[in-house]
Amino acid sequence: MRILRHILCHATGLRLATASLCLACAAVVTAQTAPYKFDFGAELGMSGYIGDANRSNIFKKPGFDGELSVRYIGNARWAVRGVLSTFGLSGDTQGMADVLPGEATYSFTSQVYELSVRGEFNFFAYGIGETYKRLKRWTPYITVGIGGAMASSGGNTSAAFTIPMGLGIKFKRRERLNLGVEFTMTKAFSDKFDGPDLADLNQIKTAFYKSTDWYSRFTVGISYEFGKRCETCHYVD
């Protein structure tokens, strides 16, 4: 009996030691690999206009663009991002092949406010530290989404649905600090972002899909991750 109790005591101690070691290892692994759920960012850059007063040069009269964003990080490959932005658009018809009636010229300036939700797909698994997942500190990505915008030009205001489409590059400077550059082209389902005078040059009652107003943006940004995922939960990516 004494020998049996001795064996049981040793077995119990071994199980406890093994369990403690497993918990310690799990804690270490979790501490090394736990990602963050969100990041908050700010972007600055320039904007451009494509429409009746500028048919091809996307940065002919560049404006200033400022953006704030919140991103939900699904995993190393995809994310969903909300973007609030404001930027200027401007253009004129001087020197264009298409002339206005009476060879008149037209110019405009608009201030645009846009709120959009976009999906992002990373070409590489993006992250730092988790070498077994083959993460990379940089990745190109593509983004597309849907939004709404309001433009004010010459005392007139118009609103429209928008579809932003773009591509960019992210770089993880530190575990929670990200840098990036992005170029987007946005389709506005309105022909009045360049003012009401150019809304119907050819006197055609256009449907929304025939509207000609687009805008582009080129930005550089910085973001910081927060909202660490549960360290004690057991889950599989």
Judge if pTM exceeds 0.85.
Answer: no
Residue 172 within a domain: yes
CATH of the domain at 127: 2.40.160.20
Beta-strand pair 36-50/63-73: antiparallel
Q: What is the pLDDT of residues 77-129, one digit of tens each?
A: 999 999 999 999 988 777 655 555 556 677 789 999 999 999 999 999 999 87
> Could you tell me what percent of the chain has a pLDDT over 90?
50
Q: Does one domain contain both 29 and 142? A: no
Residue 37 pLDDT > 70? yes
Structural domain count, the chain:
2
> What's the confidence (pLDDT) of residue 164?
97
Residue 10 pLDDT > 50? no
CB within 8 A of 214, min separation 6: which ones? 49, 50, 51, 185, 186, 187, 188
Question: Residue 6's domain spans which residues?
Answer: 1-33
Q: Does one domain contain both 10 and 122? A: no
The whole-angstrom separation of Cα 130 and Cα 119 is 24
Highest mean pLDDT among 6-10, 47-51, 101-105, 126-130: 47-51
Average pLDDT over residues 164-170: 98
Residue 110 within a domain: yes
Q: Does one domain contain both 56 and 127? A: yes
Highest mean pLDDT among 17-21, 59-63, 123-127: 123-127
Q: Does one domain contain both 86 and 22? A: no
Q: Does one domain contain both 53 and 164? A: yes
The whole-angstrom separation of Cα 211 and Cα 114 is 18
Can you tell me which residue has the tokens 């200027």? 88
Q: Does one domain contain both 136 and 221? A: yes
